[in-house]
Amino acid sequence: MSATSELEHVRGVWERAKNDSAIYRLVLSDVEIIHATRGHMQARLKLTSDHVNSRGTIHGAVSAAIIDWAGGMSIVTHGYEKTGASVDIHVTYLSTAIVGDLLDISAVADRVGKTMAFTTIKISKVIDGEVGPLVSKGSHTKFLPVSKENRTAKE
């Protein structure tokens, strides 16, 4: 796949899947996928009042949901339509963000095998148009569905 078709594929999978999850509709309805190449996906999200805790900073569950979603989208760059079940997810909270902050979400599929995929995700603030300090980072391991439909999509 070319970079353009990978980006179109990832955006298409997201468009088809986002309405299947209430949490994704709430937390990620405004996410914009800006780049995708095989093994890497980058997105942007402007924080709203739906994303923050009682102290007005990004909620830890929002960071975890972003890491869950972004890890899956990095796997999708390999041609998958669906990415299966989460096996393991880790989130490290490094700093915070508030309503109005723009986040950069960078996800890398470190290894995509026949049945398992391992991903690394970074969530950073965007400052003056540039990727700035890390807000959180994480890793996400997924069990890949072994359906004929999924195998055909990635080949």
Q: Quick one: pLDDT at residue 145?
A: 84
What pLDDT, on the 0 to 100 scale, is given for residue 95? 97
CB 108 within 8 A of CB 81: no
Please check whether residue 83 is in contact with residue 144, taking contact to mean a CB–CB distance below 8 angstroms: yes
Residue at token pair 């190449």:
37
With vertex at residue 47, the alpha carbon angle to CA 49 and CA 26, rounded to the nearest 5 degrees, is 65
User: Strand, helix or coil at 39?
Assistant: coil
Q: Report the pLDDT value the prediction gives residue 2, as an integer from 0 to 100.
A: 63
70: alpha, beta or left? (left if phi > 0; alpha if psi -120 to 50) = alpha
Domains and CATH numbers, the chain: 3-154 (3.10.129.10)
DSSP code, position 113: -
What is the full per-residue pLDDT of the chain (155 aa) written as tens digits?
566 789 999 999 999 998 888 888 889 999 999 999 999 999 999 999 999 999 999 999 999 999 999 999 999 999 999 888 999 999 999 999 999 999 999 999 999 999 999 999 999 999 999 999 999 999 999 999 876 455 445 54
- Which 8-state DSSP code applies to residue 77? T
pLDDT score at 151: 46
